């Protein structure tokens, strides 16, 4: 290997930095800001350490423990703000979610109509538990949601107040909850994400066929603080989530298809990514709202939305 090549690689390593930043930006105080400077100073002292039995490049998360972990189910039906309509489907949705996660050998804990402070306290309390004997954590949150027009911040509603959606998972990042570091954290959110309208697009089959072209073990490793997390919302950003009393749904459309598919998979052990893809497909294809024909949300479509930093597959 040439010395010129070694020098080029060394230079590339020294120049490693933020995409979009100038060379060396990460080491200059004036470009970081006070908060980033404090974080960098703390980082000099070392990073948090958590234990794992998983090889860094393993393709699957271990999911053999019983129970697999806690499944926190937060259902909100009544609100102090009278501008927020009651959610009569909350009890039904909580029950089918509880049954689904119980079938998957999680340990469900159901909470109704918590205030903002009670909700935040519960999440913090769970994050401080001993999770060494768990394989995963699941959180299901069902309520109203909205978006702040000023800064596009997404909010969900507790009984008495709003809170940023990120509060649902902020206590379970790797540095705040080392017992769950390297383990999957799954969040399912039934709440509106805005008022936009989605009438969908009619799909038809073409008259003629269209041709289709087919086509080492690490002793230790470091993961990002926000790795191993999946958040699945009932709807796409900016759009509402619907409830229905048709076709056997009797509650939130997203929770219905999610619970149904999770429960059905308990005996077949497929992978989570396939299950959630099926949930997304069924909500998108099988559901269309039926309201007063003069209502802008009549004949609207809904599609769930996933944000994932999972590093491996989950098989039940």
Please determine, for residue 249, whether its predicted confidence score (pLDDT) is greater than 70.
yes
Residue numbers annotated as active site: 144, 192
Question: CATH top-level class for 70-195+224-308?
Answer: alpha beta
Please determine, for residue 43, whether its predicted confidence score (pLDDT) is greater than 50.
no
pLDDT of residue 40: 41
Mean pLDDT of the region 160-188: 96
Please determine, for residue 257, whether its predicted confidence score (pLDDT) is greater than 70.
yes
Lowest average pLDDT, out of 16-30, 110-124, 184-198, 228-242, goes to 16-30
pLDDT of residue 103: 96
The structure tokens listed for 188 are 């399912």
What percentage of the chain has pLDDT greater than the value 70? 80
CB 241 within 8 A of CB 87: no
**DSSP bridge partners of 306:** 232
Domain boundaries, the chain: 70-195+224-308
Q: Residues 132-158: pLDDT tens digits?
A: 999 999 999 999 999 988 888 999 999
pLDDT confidence band for 248 (50 / 70 / 90): confident
Rounded to two decimals, the pTM is 0.83
Please tell me the distance from the alpha carbon of residue 226 to that of residue 315, in angstroms, as a whole number: 21
Mean pLDDT of the region 257-275: 91
Please determine, for residue 53, whether its predicted confidence score (pLDDT) is greater than 60.
yes
Q: Residues 202-239: pLDDT tens digits?
A: 777 665 544 434 343 445 778 788 899 999 999 999 99
User: Residues 49-79, buried b or exposed e (16+ Cβ, 10 A)?
Assistant: ebeeebeeeeeebbbeeebbbbbbbbbbbeb
Please tell me the distance from the alpha carbon of residue 143 to that of residue 43, in angstroms, as a whole number: 38
pLDDT of residue 44: 42
> Mapping DSSP to helix (H, G, I), strand (E, B) and coil, where does residue 181 land?
coil
Q: Rounded to the nearest 10 degrees, how much is the dihedral formed by the CA atoms of 70, 315, 276, 265?
A: -90
Please tell me the distance from the alpha carbon of residue 257 to that of residue 25, in angstroms, as a whole number: 47
pLDDT of residue 37: 47
pLDDT of residue 269: 73
Q: Rounded to the nearest 10 degrees, how much is the dihedral formed by the CA atoms of 152, 80, 244, 232?
A: 40
CB 183 within 8 A of CB 135: yes
Mean pLDDT of the region 113-130: 98
């Amino acid at each position: 290997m040439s010395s010129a090549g070694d020098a080029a690689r060394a230079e590339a390593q020294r120049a490693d930095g933020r995409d979009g930043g100038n060379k060396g930006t990460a080491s200059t105080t004036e470009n970081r800001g006070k908060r980033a400077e404090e974080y960098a100073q703390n980082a000099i002292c070392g990073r948090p350490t958590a234990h794992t039995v998983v090889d860094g490049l393993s393709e699957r998360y271990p999911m053999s423990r019983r129970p697999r972990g806690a499944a926190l189910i937060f259902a909100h039906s009544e609100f102090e703000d009278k501008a927020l309509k009651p959610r009569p489907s909350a009890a039904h949705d909580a029950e089918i979610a509880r049954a689904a996660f119980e079938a998957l050998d999680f340990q469900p804990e159901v909470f109704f109509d918590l205030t903002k402070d009670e909700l935040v306290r519960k999440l913090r309390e769970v994050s401080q538990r001993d999770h060494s004997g768990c394989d995963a954590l699941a959180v299901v949150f069902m309520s109203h949601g909205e978006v702040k027009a000023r800064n596009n911040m997404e909010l969900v509603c507790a009984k008495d107040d709003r809170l940023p959606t990120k509060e649902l998972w902020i206590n379970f990042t790797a540095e705040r909850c080392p017992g769950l570091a390297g383990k999957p954290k799954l969040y399912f959110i039934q709440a509106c994400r805005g008022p936009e309208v989605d009438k969908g697009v009619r799909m038809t089959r073409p008259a003629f066929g269209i041709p289709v072209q087919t086509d080492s073990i690490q002793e230790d490793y470091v993961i990002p603080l926000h790795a191993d997390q999946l958040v699945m919302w009932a709807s796409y950003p900016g759009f509402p989530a619907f409830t229905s009393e048709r076709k056997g749904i009797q509650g939130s459309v997203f929770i219905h298809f999610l619970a149904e598919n999770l429960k059905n998979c308990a005996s077949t052990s497929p992978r989570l990514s396939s299950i959630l893809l099926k949930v997304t497909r069924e909500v998108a294809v099988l559901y269309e709202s039926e309201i007063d024909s003069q209502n802008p949300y009549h004949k609207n479509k809904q599609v769930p939305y996933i944000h994932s930093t999972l590093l491996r597959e989950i098989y039940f």
